[in-house]
Amino acid sequence: MAFPTRGQTRYVAGAMIELRDIHHRFGDRIILDSVDLTIVERRVAIIGSNGSGKSTLVRLLNGLLVPHRGTVRVDGMDTRGEAKAIRRKVGFVFQDPDAQIVMPLVDEDIAFGLKNLKLSKDEIARKVEDVLSRYGLEHLRYQATHTLSAGEKQLLALSSVLVMEPDYVVFDEPMTLLDLRNKKMMATVLATLPQVAIVVTHDLDMLSGFDRVLVMDSGRIVMDGPPATAIPHYVGMMS
């Protein structure tokens, strides 16, 4: 899969996410343990077994979670004090689309975040129109969101995040509910998206074009390298 190079995109030189000495617990259980990570690449995947801490780790990236110890900085801003600005910068596509669909109708849900940006009605309408057609949702524009199929909800959740044009997009298992055609569409989205994408996935096939793959196990990053090294390491761990 061909990925855009930095020169072709909106990638901002010096864009960076930094995690330093991260520890996180739920109750007595240590979920993330001594995680140090600097992300400057455009396509980064996080793989690992169920419960290894992937979703917890990515929730730290836009301040949805604040670590018990350590710091997370996005372009120099700390998630501990600047969560609102960071949420504008880091879009998050949830594993469960119901967690992020907020409005009764499809077009309203896509427009929801844009309404906080002081855009004119025309600009909002243009942006909504654009994502509806980009992600094949035009025919669902006036449908009630709760009546969408699971895969349609996943595409709507994706559209509502991308319409905001964040600098970074985190995807937590974006393919689980999609049929083959929409999986291909999502692969194309990941290949062409101008932003930095950080993708948690169990779909190892989609990672060949990625710059970097992190393998998690029991709350730690146990392997960090290109797909050709990291994926066999993970497969070996699982066998």
Ligand X SMILES: Nc1ncnc2c1ncn2[C@@H]1O[C@H](COP(=O)(O)OP(=O)(O)OP(=O)(O)O)[C@@H](O)[C@H]1O
Which residues sit at the interface with Mg ion, rule CB under 5 A? 55
Residue 223 binds ligand X, judged by CB under 6 A: no
Q: Which is nearer to Mg ion, 96 or 165 (CB)?
A: 96
Q: Which does 53 bind (CB under 5 to 8 A by kind): ligand X, Mg ion, none?
A: ligand X
Residue 166 binds ligand X, judged by CB under 6 A: no
Q: Say whether 47 sits in a helix, a strand or coil.
A: strand
Q: How far is the CB of 174 from Mg ion (least distance, A)?
A: 12
- Please give the Cα distance from 122 to 22 (Å, whole number): 44
Q: Which is nearer to ligand X, 52 or 182 (CB)?
A: 52
Q: Which is nearer to Mg ion, 55 or 154 (CB)?
A: 55
Q: Which is nearer to Mg ion, 158 or 163 (CB)?
A: 158
Q: What sections of the chain are H helices per DSSP? A: 54-59, 83-89, 106-112, 121-134, 150-162, 180-192, 227-238
Number of H helices, E strands in the chain: 7, 10
Q: How far is the CB of 122 from ligand X (least distance, A)?
A: 40
CB 59 within 8 A of CB 35: no
Core vs surface per residue 220-232: b (16+ CB within 10 A) or e: bbbbeeebeebbe
Residue 226 binds ligand X, judged by CB under 6 A: no
Q: Say whether 55 sits in a helix, a strand or coil.
A: helix
Residue 117 sits at φ, ψ, to 5 deg, of -100, 10
Footprint on residues 43-62 left by ligand X (CB under 6 A): 48, 50-56
Q: Which does 174 bind (CB under 5 to 8 A by kind): ligand X, Mg ion, none?
A: none
**Which residues of this protein are in contact with ligand X, per CB under 6 A?**
26, 31, 48, 50-56
